[in-house]
């Protein structure tokens, strides 16, 4: 028998239209969790919401929101209020990268990037966390990256900085709310089979890579298990764990010398004048 919506948890998932976000949606739906799916592509969100609702007997609804815009958090909060629902699980997953160098991009592209990967994580978490604390239950998973532990390299200029911010924010937040029934985890995957590279135009470069890759489903399963176990920062996959361990142990100059030649393989050339 399907549980009534009033007794089911609800997960808010950003970037839910594909990749890791979609995998989170499918995994939580399978557990009987209702879904608020957030992304810009409304048609894909609505199709996924309908599919998962019919397949698992849950409620799922879509919220079209561009997280680079200042009103994005308000749109999500308003949609929850209209559905008379509260957020029990927050997945801050939305993200992308700019593979060119800093000067080859427009300033607006970089500020939009920071808004999606940093500002929206802060804003949405700040809006939904009080309800979790009040109810004595909450789960937050922030999708970071193993590059959070690396030195910067040419191309994808702000990506390591943004993901490092997410990791540090997760650790501080976890320390603040651990005794309030809220568990906070940063999952830091490496290369993952998803639409991420296709979105930034580096899919052919990634396809040629012989680096260790994981499926979105594997990353999500590890993230959910780690979150329930109260782990704050998780690097999925032993090859990734080993790489991060070296990045932490080696001097920055050594790490940069190792990483920067590899990073060039995943950056697009700047347009010629």
Query: So which residues are the catalytic ones?
Result: 159
Q: DSSP string spanning the chain?
A: -PPPGGGS-EEEEETTTSHHHHHHHHHHHHTT-EEEEEES-HHHHHHHHHHHHHHHS--EEEEE--TTSTTHHHHHHHHHHHTT---SEEEE-------S-GGGS-HHHHHHHHIIIIIHHHHHHHHHHHHHHHHT-EEEEEE--GGGGSPP-SSSTTHHHHHHHHHHHHHHHHHHHGGGTEEEEEE---SEESSHHHHHT-HHHHHH--S--EEHHHHHHHHHHHHHTT-SEE--SHHHHHHHHHHHHS-HHHHHHHHHHHHGGGSPPPPP-
């Amino acid at each position: 028998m399907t549980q009534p919506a009033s007794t089911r948890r609800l997960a808010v998932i950003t970037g839910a239209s594909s990749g890791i976000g979609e995998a989170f949606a499918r995994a939580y739906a399978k557990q009987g969790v209702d879904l608020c799916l957030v992304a810009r592509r409304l048609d894909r969100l609505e199709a996924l919401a309908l599919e998962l609702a019919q397949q698992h007997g849950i409620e799922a609804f879509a919220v079209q929101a561009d997280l680079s815009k200042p009103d994005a958090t308000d749109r999500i909060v308003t949609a929850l209020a209209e559905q008379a629902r509260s957020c029990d699980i927050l997945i801050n997953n939305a993200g992308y990268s700019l593979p060119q160098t800093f000067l080859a991009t427009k300033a607006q592209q970089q500020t939009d990037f920071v808004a999606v990967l940093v500002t929206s994580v802060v804003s949405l978490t700040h809006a939904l966390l009080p309800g979790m604390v009040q109810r004595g239950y909450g789960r937050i998973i922030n999708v970071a990256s193993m590059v959070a532990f690396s030195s910067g390299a040419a191309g994808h200029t702000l990506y390591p900085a943004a993901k490092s911010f997410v990791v540090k924010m997760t650790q501080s937040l976890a320390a603040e709310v651990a005794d309030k029934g809220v568990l906070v985890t940063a999952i830091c995957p490496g290369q993952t089979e998803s639409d991420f590279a296709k979105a930034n135009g580096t899919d052919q470069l990634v396809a040629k890579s012989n680096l260790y890759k994981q499926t979105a489903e594997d990353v999500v399963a590890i993230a959910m298990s780690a979150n329930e176990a109260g782990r704050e920062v998780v690097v999925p996959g032993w090859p990734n764990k080993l790489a991060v361990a070296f990045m932490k142990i080696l001097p920055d100059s050594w790490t940069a010398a190792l990483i920067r030649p590899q990073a060039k393989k995943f950056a697009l050339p700047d347009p010629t004048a």
